[in-house]
Amino acid sequence: MKNFKRNAGAVNMTEGPVLLPFIRYTLPVVLSGMLSLLFNTVDMVVVGQFVGESAVAAVGSTTSLIGFITNFFLGISMGATVKLATDIGAGEKNLNRAVQTAYTLGIIFGLVTCLTGCILAENMLVWMKTPSDVLPQATLYLRIYFIGQPGFMIFSFGRAILSAFGDTRSPLCYLAAAGAVNVVFNLFFVVICGQGGAGVAAATVMSQFLSAILVTGRLRALEEPHRLSLKKLMLEKTVIARIMYLGVPSGLQTMLFLMSTVLIQSSVNSLNSTSLVAGNSSATNIEGFIYTAMISVAQGCIAFSGQNYGARSVVRLKKVYQVSIFLEIAVGAPMGLAACFCGRDLLRLFLPDSAAGIEYGMARLQVIAVTYFLCGIMDCTTYMIRGMNRTIFPLVATVAGSVVFRIIWIFTVFPRARRGLGITQAYHILLISYPISWIVTFTVLFLYYLAAVRNIQAETEGRRGGTPP
C-alpha cells in the first residue's frame, strides 16, 4: 500500500493501537460539535432573556425543519469522508480528483438548500402546524438562516475532507473562531439593535461564511495529493457516483429519520401550547450536547472503519467497533443522567419566566436524555457498517426500525393518548417512541454487522489465498 505523506495534525488510523488515536481523532470532533451547540444555545438563551417565550418558541420550532433539509446533504458529505478514507487505506493514486469534486459538491448543495429554504419556509412551517402566534417570527428567522447555507455546506464538506485525512483539529479551531463571531454579533443584533430572532439568524449567517473561508484556506495549504485548487474545481462522474453511492443512503436515512422527528414536532405543536413548544425546544437544546458527543464518536468510527476497510484489516475493524461502543456508553450514559439531574436549572436559562415550560422540558429530559446512549450505540453501528462500504442495509434497517415505527406510533398510539389523557401524559406517550425505536434498530443493525465482518474476513482470506472472493 502506498503511504501518503501525512499532513500536520493527521491521525494514523491503520497502524498501532486503536483507543488513544481514536480518542485523539474524536475529541476535536466532540469539542467542535459542543462549540457549535454552545453557540446555538447562546442564541436561544439571548432570545429567551431579552425577547421572551414566544421568540424561543419561534426559533425552536424551526430546529427540526432545518435539520430535515440540511442533513440529507450532510449525509452525502459523510459519503465523501468514506470515499476518501477508503482511497487512502487502499493507496488510491487519483485522490486529488475526489478532493476537488467533494468541495464542488459542497458549493452546489449549499446553493440548493439556500434556495429551497428561502422559498418554502412559510409553507413548511404551516405544514408543521407551527402556532400562529409565532409563525411570522419563525418564517423570518428561517429565511435569513438559509441565506448562510452555502457557507455552511462548504465548511461541512471541507471538514469531511479533512476528517478523512485524519485532521479534526483544524475544523475545531475554525468553528471556535466562527462561533465567537456569532456570539458577538448575536448580542449586537438582539440586545443593542432589538432584532430578536432575525438578529440571531443574521449572526449565524455571518459565522457560517467565516467558517467556510477558513476551511477553504486550510484545504488550499495541504500537501499533495490532498491540496485543494480553486482553479481546478471539477465534477468527475466516477467520483460523484461513488460519493453518491456511499452518501445518498446516509442522507436519505438521516432525512427520513428527521421526518419522524418533524412529525413528532408537528404532534407537539398540535397540542396547541406555546409553553410546551418552548419547553420541548429548550430540552432539545440540552439533549443536543449529549447527542453531539455520541455522534462525534460515530463519526470517528466511520473514518477509522473506512481506512481499515480499504486496507482490509479485519482485526482492526473489530477493535474500532469495540472501542466506539465502549466510548458511546461511557460518554452518553453519564451525560444523560447529569442533564436530567441539573435539568431545571438549565431550563431556567432558556425560560426564566415560564414554570410550565420548564416542567414540559423536564418531562422530555426524563424520557430522552437518560436513554440517549441507546441512540449512540445505534448510530455507531450504522456508521461502522457504512465505513465498510455497505450502505443499503443501514438505510432499510433505520427506516423500518426508527422512522416507520415512529410514524405508526404517531398515528395510532398518540391519538388515543391525546383523546384520553391530559397534555403532559400525551406528551410522555409521544416521547416513549424514541428509546423503543433505538433498541429495535440497534438489534437488527448489530446482527448485520456481525455478518458483514465475517464476509469481509472471508473475502480477505480468499484474496490472500489467490482464489476469487
Q: Give pLDDT tens digits for 80-139.
A: 888 888 877 666 667 788 889 999 999 999 999 899 888 888 887 777 677 677 777 778
The predicted model gives 433-444 an average pLDDT of: 92
Phi, psi of 128 (to 5 degrees): -80, 5
The reported pLDDT for the residue numbered 154 is 94
Report the alpha-carbon distance of residue 161 to residue 81 in Å, rounded. 6
pLDDT at 378 (0 to 100): 94
**Confidence (pLDDT) at 467:** 39
- pLDDT for residue 58: 62
Predicted model pTM: 0.73
In the predicted model, what is the mean pLDDT of residues 172-181? Answer: 87
Residue 366 has pLDDT above 50, yes or no: yes
Higher pLDDT, residue 405 or 190 = 405
- Whether 376 and 328 have beta carbons less than 8 Å apart is answered as yes
Instruction: Using the predicted structure, report yes or no on whether residue 49 has a pLDDT greater than 80.
Output: no
Q: Tell me which residue of 126, 345, 382, 431 sits closest to 254, measured CA to CA.
A: 382
Q: Is the dihedral of CA 198, 201, 205, 211 positive or negative?
A: positive
pLDDT digits (tens, 9 = 90+) for 58-92: 666 666 667 777 778 888 888 888 888 887 766 66
Query: Mean pLDDT across the chain, nearest whole number?
Result: 82
Binned at pLDDT 50, 70 and 90, residue 47 comes out as low
d(CA 285, CA 288) in angstroms, rounded, equals: 5
pLDDT in tens, 132-160: 777 777 788 888 888 999 999 999 999 98
The answer to whether the peptide bond before residue 150 is cis (omega within 30 degrees of 0) is no
Closest CA to 62 of 145, 6, 1, 147: 145
Q: Would you list the DSSP string of 356-407?
A: HHHHHHHHHHHHTGGGHHHHHHHHHHHHHHHHTT--HHHHHHHIIIIIIHHH
Residue of higher predicted confidence among 44 and 182: 182
Identify the band that residue 295 occupies on the pLDDT scale cut at 50, 70 and 90: confident
Residue-level pLDDT at 4: 47
Secondary element (H or E) of residue 180: helix 169-187
Q: How far is CA 264 from CA 298, 331, 419, in A?
A: 24, 26, 17
Tell me the C-alpha distance between 316 and 22, whole Å.
12
Cell numbers standing for residue 38: 454552545
Among residues 314, 148, 160, which one has the least CA distance to residue 250? 160
Are 317 and 302 in contact, with CB atoms under 8 Å apart? Answer: no
Q: Report the distance separating Cα 225 and Cα 222, nearest Å.
A: 8
Provide the angle, in degrees to the nearest 10, between the axes of the packed helices 372-387 and 274-310: 30
Q: Residue 250: what residue type?
A: S
Model confidence at 1, pLDDT cuts 50, 70, 90, reads very low
Amino acid letter, 151: G
